[in-house]
Amino acid sequence: MASTAPDPVHRRGPEAVSSQPQCCECAHLPARLPPGSPPQIRLEPKSEAIPVPTDSKAPARITFRDAVGGELMRSPLEILQINVGKLCNQTCVHCHVNAGPNRSEQMTEEAAEAALGVLDRFPTLTTVDVTGGAPEMSPWFRRIVTEARKRDLTVIDRCNLTILLQPGHEDLAQFLADQRVTVVASLPCYSKENVDAQRGDGVFQASIEALRLLNSLGYGRDGERHLDLVFNPVGASLPPAQGPLEAAYKEQLAEHFDITFDHLYTITNMIIARFESFLRRTGELEGYERLLEGSFNPATIPQLMCRNTLSVSWDGYVYDCDFNQMLDLRLENGSALRVGDVTPELWDSLGIITGRHCFGCTAGAGSSCSGALT
Ligand code: SF4
Ligand code: SF4
């Protein structure tokens, strides 16, 4: 059991250090837009982006724990996030673990069944969030969805859109619609050139086609089938305000492509893996770290997703969040825990593993797999 909490939100405990990146999820990756994008399709209102500070006399660095005033406390578990593996139909140039058609890391039946055990052990659970790779390529994807929906849980599919058009997946969109699965898809720009440069030739057109297919099935239109899009900044800046950007996305996608969707999530680029390498290459690492630290917003803390989320990897280990999973910061109780070992009592007793990367969640309006926090 962690030490005594100073208040309902914080408690004291050790901070962890990061190690190796582990998994890939489109929504967490930095968009790379080449210069010269047409103004009417540029999605990042540059005037709203907060620039990286260049003042070498910036204040001394603080730890995340000191900023928070202690260790984060858990609230009841509401979200089970399952990363089913690294198999993907795309091979995006920015994919920091090189997910692709030849990756063999896939959730086993044993690990999938162990993850499903959480559905009945945690009565406070409301949502199952499935990610990858392309999660729909897992042989266990549909079983996970149907078991969760049988229990009337919300299911989120982190979808790359193009999988909906792939041979062998012709019935996938209808399956998602029938199950009322919420589709969350990364669409970093309206521009064919920018999207194809980041995600591969032909991805933009396929994404538009897939969004139209989803719209035709009621997604983003009927109030029952939710379609959400994800945006993250081009580089070392905080995302612009989520509300106005969502309005701009809606206007542009409707006008140019007759596409509608429900919500836009803005997500802060985390200093993890490939984006960290990018910052080192461009000499922006320290400035971006200081930007995140200097933008620390205590109002985000009650909403941090690690407080109510259990994150499971393709090989059945458990983490506080998808970011900790990328950093291989496994939850332990003497030894690394597997999902089948986790009970509500044990989960509540484990301290949340935090580190300097956590400033990415608390900067500005905050950031999570569901966008801004405040
Ligand atoms: S679509 Fe696949 S390859 Fe591209 S970023 Fe997402 S997981 Fe990686
Ligand atoms: S990265 Fe964010 S969600 Fe994960 S432990 Fe840190 S604050 Fe929590």
Q: 138-141 contacts: CB < 8 A, separation 24 or more?
A: 138/84, 138/85, 138/87, 138/106, 138/107, 138/112, 139/106, 139/109, 140/84, 140/107, 140/109, 140/112, 141/84
Closest among 125, 101, 105, 102 to 115, alpha carbons compared:
125
Q: What pLDDT, on a 0 to 100 scale, did the predictor assign at position 126?
A: 98
CA distance 317 to 167: 32
User: Which residues contact residue 93 at a Cβ distance below 8 angstroms, ignoring those fewer than 6 apart?
Assistant: 197, 198, 199, 200
Which atom of ligand 2 approaches the CA of 357 most closely? 1
Strand locations in the chain (E): 10-11, 71-72, 79-83, 127-131, 154-159, 182-186, 227-231, 263-266, 309-312, 318-319
Q: Are 239 and 248 in contact (CB under 8 A)?
A: no
CA distance 119 to 116: 5
Domain spans, the chain: 23-30+73-268+302-344
Nearest CA to ligand 2 atom 8: 306
Which tokens sit at 44? 């990042």
DSSP per residue, 83-125: E-BSB-S---TT-TT--BTT---B--HHHHHHHHHHHHH-TT-
87, β-bridge pairs: 100
231, β-bridge pairs: 266
Cα 13 to averaged position of ligand 2 atoms, centre (Å) = 14
Which tokens sit at 340? 């089948």
Give the three-state DSSP class for 339: helix
Cα 171 to averaged position of ligand 2 atoms, centre (Å) = 36
Which tokens sit at 362? 């608390």
131, β-bridge pairs: 83
Q: Are 107 and 338 in contact (CB under 8 A)?
A: no
Nearest CA to ligand 2 atom 1: 358
Which tokens sit at 114? 């162990």
Closest among 245, 292, 242, 243 to 270, alpha carbons compared:
292
| Ranges under pLDDT 50 in the chain | 1-54, 56
Which atom of ligand 2 approaches the CA of 322 most closely? 4
User: Which residues contact residue 302 at a Cβ distance below 8 angstroms, ignoring those fewer than 6 apart?
Assistant: 9
Q: Are 22 and 132 in contact (CB under 8 A)?
A: no
The pTM of this model reads 0.84
Q: What pLDDT, on a 0 to 100 scale, did the predictor assign at position 25?
A: 34
- What phi, psi does 185 have (nearest 5°)? -130, 140
Q: pLDDT tens digit string along 218-257?
A: 999 999 999 999 987 767 889 999 999 999 889 989 999 9
Cα 2 to averaged position of ligand 2 atoms, centre (Å) = 17
- What phi, psi does 182 have (nearest 5°)? -75, 125
CATH architecture of the domain 23-30+73-268+302-344 equals Alpha-Beta Barrel (3.20)
Question: Ligand 2 pocket test: which of 304, 327, 329, 369 has the largest number of ligand atoms within 8 Å of its C-beta?
Answer: 304
Pocket (CB within 6 angstroms of ligand 2): 304-306, 320-321, 323-324, 352, 354, 357-358, 361
Q: Are 81 and 309 in contact (CB under 8 A)?
A: yes
Could you say which ligand is closest to the alpha carbon of residue 88? Answer: 1
Question: Whose structure tokens read 């893996």?
Answer: 273
DSSP per residue, 49-93: SPPPP--TTPPPP--HHHHHTSEEPP----EEEEE-BSB-S---T
Q: What pLDDT, on a 0 to 100 scale, did the predictor assign at position 40?
A: 27
Q: What pLDDT, on a 0 to 100 scale, did the predictor assign at position 58?
A: 57
Which helix (H) or strand (E) element contains residue 323?
helix 322-326
Question: Ligand 2 pocket test: which of 23, 268, 320 has the largest number of ligand atoms within 8 Å of its C-beta?
Answer: 320
Q: What pLDDT, on a 0 to 100 scale, did the predictor assign at position 277?
A: 84
Which atom of ligand 1 approaches the CA of 29 most closely? 5
Given phi > 0 = left and psi -120 to 50 = alpha, else beta, which region is 42?
A: beta
Q: Are 321 and 79 in contact (CB under 8 A)?
A: no
80, β-bridge pairs: 128, 310
Beta strand pairing call for 79-83 and 71-72? unpaired
Task: Output DSSP code: residue 203.
Answer: H
